Amino acid sequence: NAGVTQTPKFRILKIGQSMTLQCTQDMNHNYMYWYRQDPGMGLKLIYYSVGAGITDKGEVPNGYNVSRSTTEDFPLRLELAAPSQTSVYFCASTDKSSGNTIYFGEGSWLTVV
Amino acid sequence: QKEVEQNSGPLSVPEGAIASLNCTYSDRGSQSFFWYRQYSGKSPELIMSIYSNGDKEDGRFTAQLNKASQYVSLLIRDSQPSDSATYLCAVNQRGNQFYFGTGTSLTVIP
């Protein structure tokens, strides 16, 4: 009963480094999302995808890239990490089959120093 | 104007009381409405979903939707200390775009 799985859970990056946050879901959902949540703040949409091969920018896409080569996987790439990217990142998915309810992964805590 | 607005709180209620959480949204085309609970350091988890005007009850939780007023609320009856968390209102618009409020922090005092 995995749902949405994110890795890694915690990571410390140095300024200028790059990394990929992995996200996979086993619910056969077409729609997948990446959000970031800064301390005490709400969720901000970074990128989303409506199906394999289709991605689009959300509210705060700068400094990030995504790909969606399969229905299951939606990795988020951080290029040239900056302290402003220190945040908690949540991957999520949904589909009509789940009543359009959005399901979240457990989160990835990223610190850029 | 923000897509979804919530009172940030914090909201404090005594144990056993009713907690009332409110949310307004800007897009009349919004189709689905959700309340998520988020404990500190955890991911949001679904509490309630509501799709049509009126009330929907699930145990101690009641969601209320008024599309004419663009207003959705969550009532928690017999509040327990374990209900202490941040509650996020989410609205689903066309094309499966989800917008979240900034959350209301609730503390239930034993």
What pLDDT shows up at residue A1?
A: 63
Residue B72 contacts by C-beta under 8 Å, 6 or more apart in sequence? B22, B23, B24, B25, B33, B35, B50, B63, B64, B65, B66, B89, B91
Res. B95 pLDDT band, cuts 50 70 90 = low
Q: H or E element: which one contains B75? A: strand B71-76
Among A78, A36, A29, which Cα is nearest to A50's?
A: A29
How does pLDDT run across A27-51, given as a tens digit for each residue? 999 999 999 999 878 899 999 999 9
How does pLDDT run across A56-77, given as a tens digit for each residue? 999 899 999 999 999 999 999 9
How does pLDDT run across B28-71, given as a tens digit for each residue? 888 899 999 999 999 999 999 999 999 999 999 999 999 999 99
Chain A CB contacts of B50 under 8 Å are none
Residue listed under structure tokens 């729609």: A31
Query: Could you say which DSSP state residue B47 is in?
Result: E
% of chain B at pLDDT higher than 70: 97
- Torsion angle, alpha carbons of A30, A31, A32, A35, to 10: 180
State whether B96 and A100 contact (CB < 8 Å): yes
Distance in angstroms (rounded) separating the CA atoms of residues A4 and A1: 9
Res. B98 pLDDT band, cuts 50 70 90 = confident
Query: Could you say which DSSP state residue A73 is in?
Result: B
- Name which residue leads in pLDDT, B89 or B94: B89
How does pLDDT run across B71-80, given as a tens digit for each residue? 999 999 999 9
CB B4 within 8 A of CB B23: yes
Q: Does A5 touch chain B (CB under 8 A)?
A: no
State whether B45 and A102 contact (CB < 8 Å): no
State whether B102 and A42 contact (CB < 8 Å): yes
Answer yes or no: is pLDDT of B81 > 70.
yes
